Amino acid sequence: MLPDFIVKAMEDVESLGLKRTLRAAERRSPREIVIGGRRLIDFSSNDYMALSMRGELIERACEWTRRFGAGSAASRLISGTTEACLLLEEKLAAWKGFEAAIILSSGYAGNVGAIAALSGRSRTIFANKLNHASLNQGCLLSGGEFKRYAHCDWDRLERMLANAGEGDKLIVSDTVFSMDGDIADLARLRETAERHHALLYLDDAHGSGVLGEHGHGLATPALCDVALSTFSKALGSFGSCVCCSRAMKEYLVNHCASFIFSTALPPAVLGAVDAAIDLLRTDEMEQARAALFRRADFLRNGLRELGFDTGKSETMIVPLLIGETERTTEFSMRLQEEGILGVAIRPPTVPRGTARIRLSLNAAHTDADVERLLEAVRRIAGR
C-alpha cells in the first residue's frame, strides 16, 4: 500500500497532463533513434559534437578498462585517485585555461556539492530563475539565503546585491540556458560580481566542447571564479569537472561532500573523456562546430518564417515555443509520426505557459535532416 501523499501526488500530475513516463529507446547513432520500433531523427539529445559513439572514445574507454579495471574501488581520498585521473585533471585545466580542475561524478553531483561547499548558512546566493535544477538544489542544500532574480534581469541582480549588506556573496548562473538556448551576459555578470565582491560560479554544461574559442567553453578564467563543465553533453561521455584556482581546488577536496563521499569515476569514463578532449582540439571538430552553428541559424530562420517564436536562442539549442502544455505534447507526438524526435518540455521544467519543443542540433545532423524537420513542422502547423 502506498501512503496517501504518494497516491495524491500521482493523481495530481496525471490530472494536469504532466505525468512523466520512461520509454525504451535505442540510439543507433547520434542522429538516429528507434522508439517503439520506429526510426526517428533525434533532435532531443545533448550529444552536440556527436562524440558519444565515436570509435576513439570507445577504444580508449576499453583500453583504460583493460589497464585499470572496470571500477575505481573507492572514493578519490581513499584509494580512487589514479595517476591517469590526476593527468586528466591537468589536461582539463590546461584545455580550459584554469590553474586546476577537479573531477566529480556528474554535472548534477558537481553542482550540488560544489555550490553547497562554496556557500553556507551565513552567505547569500544570487541565482538566475532559469538556472538548471542541480544549481538550485545546491543552493537549497547550502542552507544559505537563496535569492533568485528574473531571467537575465541584470538591474534586479544589481539591486539585490546592493541591498544585501556586507556578508559573503555567491552569484550562480548557467552560461547557456538549457531550455532556451540563450547565453547569459557573462562580461556583465563578471563586472557586477567584482564590484560587489561576490564569487561567480558558472555552469557551462552546454558551452563546454562546443561554444567559445575553439569550443573551450564560455566560462573562462577571465569571466568567473569557478566553472562547472559536464562530460555528458558535447564530450559524449559522463561526469563533470570544476575548474578553478589551485587553492580553490584544495578547498573543494576538503569540503565538497559529493567529491569526498562518492566513489571515483570508473576508468572507462575517464578514458572516454581523455579521448574526447584530444578530438575536440582537431580541425575536424572546428569545422563541425562551424557547420553546427550554420544549421542552427538555418533552423531558427526557418521556424521564424513559419511564424514560430524561438525566443532568444543563439546556440544549437532551439526552442519551438508553443505555450500550452497539451498542445505541446500533441505537437511532439505529431513530430514523432513524421519520423522526428522533438521532446515536449513542460512545467515545472519550464515556467507555466511556456511549454515548448526543445530542439537541439548535433554535428551528425545533415542539412537534409533540418529541412525535413522544417517540412514536418510546416505540415503539423498547417502553414
244 binds ligand PLP (CB under 6 A): no
- Could you tell me which of 45, 27, 61 has the C-alpha nearest to residue 276? 61
230 binds ligand PLP (CB under 6 A): yes
Q: Strand order in 25-29's β-sheet? A: 25-29, 32-35, 38-42, 340-341
For ligand PLP, the closer of residues 242 and 322 by Cβ is 242
205 binds ligand PLP (CB under 6 A): yes
Compute the least distance from the CB of residue 134 to ligand PLP, in Å.
5
310 binds ligand PLP (CB under 6 A): no
Compute the least distance from the CB of residue 92 to ligand PLP, in Å.
15
Compute the least distance from the CB of residue 203 to ligand PLP, in Å.
5
Instruction: Quote the CA–CA distance of 233 and 65 in Å, as a whole number.
Output: 22
128 binds ligand PLP (CB under 6 A): no
Among 44, 52, 111, 258, binds ligand PLP (CB under 6 A): 111
Compute the least distance from the CB of residue 298 to ligand PLP, in Å.
24
132 binds ligand PLP (CB under 6 A): yes
45 binds ligand PLP (CB under 6 A): no
Among 48, 108, 146, 308, binds ligand PLP (CB under 6 A): 108
- Which uninterrupted H or E stretch holds 317? strand 317-323
Phi, psi (degrees; rounded to nearest 5) at 339: 85, 25
Q: What is the DSSP letter of 263?
A: B
Instruction: Quote the CA–CA distance of 203 and 176 in Å, as a whole number.
Output: 8
Compute the least distance from the CB of residue 172 to ligand PLP, in Å.
11
- Could you tell me which of 163, 198, 182, 191 has the C-alpha nearest to residue 356? 182
For ligand PLP, the closer of residues 98 and 231 by Cβ is 231
- Rounded to a whole number of angstroms, the distance between the first and last alpha carbons of the chain is 50
Helix (H, G, I), strand (E, B) or coil at 76: helix
89 binds ligand PLP (CB under 6 A): no
- Could you tell me which of 338, 344, 336 has the C-alpha nearest to residue 372? 338
192 binds ligand PLP (CB under 6 A): no
134 binds ligand PLP (CB under 6 A): yes
Instruction: Quote the CA–CA distance of 327 and 154 in Å, as a whole number.
Output: 33
Residue 228 cell numbers, joined = 562547472
Residues that bind ligand PLP (CB under 6 A): 106-108, 111, 132, 134, 174, 178, 203, 205-206, 230, 232, 240
